[in-house]
C-alpha cells in the first residue's frame, strides 16, 4: 500500500468516526476506493484478506445492521473477508488497518466495527464462499462536521482519545523495566505511532519489549471466561499495532521484517502471549 502523505500525519488524523453525511459517492471516488481495496499484500503470518466495498443504497438506520444507533448516515461499508480454514486475526487487523489509513489519507471517515454489526445482513450483501467469515467491517464516507451527542458520549465513555503511557506498554530487556523514549532510539516514532493505534474498546492490549535491536511484540490476553469474539478482537488489535509500527519504521528507513523468535523472557506475566519480533534488516 502506497501512501502519499507522511504516515505520522495520517495516523494522527484517524479517529473513529460515527457520524457520516448520507451522500452517494461519485463514480471516480468509488473507483479510487475499489483500487486501494485490491490489496495483494499478505500479513506478517502470510495470509491475505479480501476487501469489498458495499453500497447498501440505504443508510445504516434503515439497513438494521445492528449498530444500535451508534453509527449514523453510513451508506458504504468496507467488508473484510477471511476463510475460516486459514483465519488469522492478526493478519486481518494488520491488513485492514492499512485500508483504514488509506481511507483516512483520502479524507474519508471510518470506524472499525468488530462486534456491533449484524453479520447476517452483511453476509447477504457480499458473495461469501464456503467457510468465509467477516471478522470486521467499517463504514466509509464523508465525515459529518457536527458530531451527534451519541457520538460524543461513546467517545467520552470509552475514553477514545486516551492512550496508556509508555511505561505501561514498552519495556527494555525485562517486563519490569520500562523503556524510555531516549533508550528506544531509533524506534521512538514507530512506537509512538503504535501507541496511537485504535483497539476494540480502547483496551490497548499490546506490549513491546526491546532487547538490543530486536522488538518483541506481546498480546495481553483476556481471561479464559471472556467471549470468543472479544478474544479474537485482541488479535486484530495486535495486528493493527504491528501495522502502525511497521509503516512508520519503513518510512523512517528502518526497514525490517517480522519473525517468530520468542526470547523466552523470564519472568513473563502469565496473561502475556508472545506474537512476533521485528528485526531490522
Ligand atoms: C478491532 C476493533 C473493533 C472495534 N469495534 C467497535 C464496535 O463494534 N463499535 C464501535 O463503536 N467501535 C468499535 N471500535 C472502535 C474503538 O472503540 C476505537 O478505536 C477506540 O475507542 C479508540 O478510539 P479512536 O479510534 O477514536 O482512536 C473497534 C475498534 C477495533 C480496533
Which value, to the nearest 10 degrees, does the dihedral of the CA atoms of residues 171, 280, 204, 17 take?
150
Probe residue for ligand 1, chosen from 10, 14, 16 as the CB with the greatest number of ligand atoms within 8 Å: 16
Residue 160 maps to a domain = no
The three three-digit cell numbers of residue 8, written as one number? 505520522
Give pLDDT tens digits for 170-213: 999 999 999 999 999 999 999 999 999 999 989 999 999 999 99
How many structural domains is the chain composed of?
2
Point out the domain boundary residue: 99, 119, 152: 152
249 C-alpha to ligand 1 centroid (Å): 24
- Expressed as residue numbers, the domain containing 53 is 7-152
| Cβ-based neighbours of 50, under 8 Å, separated by 6 or more | 80, 81, 82
Residues 212 and 252: their CA atoms lie apart, in Å, by 19
Q: Residues 68, 103: one domain?
A: yes
Average pLDDT for 18-38: 95
Query: Residues lining ligand 1, CB < 6 A?
Result: 15-16, 70, 111-116, 136, 154, 158, 160, 198-202, 233, 236-237, 240
**Percent of the chain having pLDDT more than 70?**
95
Probe residue for ligand 1, chosen from 202, 204, 235 as the CB with the greatest number of ligand atoms within 8 Å: 202
Residue 158 maps to a domain = no
Amino acid at each position: 500500500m502506497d501512501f502519499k502523505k507522511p504516515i505520522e500525519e495520517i495516523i494522527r488524523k484517524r479517529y473513529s468516526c460515527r457520524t457520516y453525511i448520507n451522500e452517494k459517492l461519485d463514480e471516480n471516488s468509488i473507483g479510487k476506493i475499489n483500487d486501494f481495496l485490491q490489496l495483494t499484500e499478505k500479513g506478517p503470518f502470510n495470509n491475505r484478506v479480501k476487501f469489498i466495498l458495499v453500497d447498501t443504497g440505504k443508510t445504516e438506520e434503515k439497513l438494521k445492521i445492528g449498530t444500535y444507533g451508534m453509527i449514523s448516515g453510513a451508506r458504504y461499508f468496507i467488508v473484510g473477508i477471511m476463510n475460516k480454514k486459514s483465519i488469522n486475526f492478526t493478519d486481518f487487523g494488520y491488513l485492514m488497518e492499512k485500508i483504514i489509513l488509506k481511507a483516512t489519507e483520502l479524507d474519508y471517515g471510518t470506524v472499525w466495527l468488530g462486534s456491533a454489526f449484524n453479520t447476517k445482513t452483511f453476509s447477504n450483501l457480499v458473495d461469501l464462499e464456503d467457510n468465509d467469515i467477516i471478522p470486521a467491517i467499517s463504514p466509509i464516507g464523508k465525515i459529518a462536521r457536527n458530531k451527534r451527542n451519541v457520538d460524543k458520549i461513546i467517545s467520552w465513555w470509552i475514553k477514545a482519545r486516551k492512550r496508556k503511557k509508555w511505561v505501561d506498554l514498552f519495556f527494555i530487556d525485562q517486563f519490569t523495566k520500562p523503556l524510555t523514549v531516549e533508550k528506544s532510539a531509533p524506534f521512538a516514532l514507530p512506537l509512538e505511532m503504535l501507541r496511537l493505534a485504535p483497539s476494540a474498546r480502547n483496551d490497548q492490549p499490546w506490549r513491546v519489549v526491546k532487547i538490543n535491536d530486536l522488538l518483541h511484540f506481546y498480546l495481553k490476553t483476556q481471561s479464559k471466561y471472556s467471549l470468543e469474539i472479544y478474544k479474537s478482537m485482541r488479535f486484530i488489535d495486535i495486528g493493527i499495532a504491528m501495522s502502525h509500527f511497521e509503516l512508520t519504521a519503513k518510512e523512517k528507513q528502518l526497514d525490517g521484517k517480522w519473525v517468530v523468535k520468542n526470547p523466552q523472557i523470564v519472568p513473563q506475566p502469565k496473561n502475556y502471549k508472545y506474537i512476533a519480533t521485528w528485526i531490522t534488516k
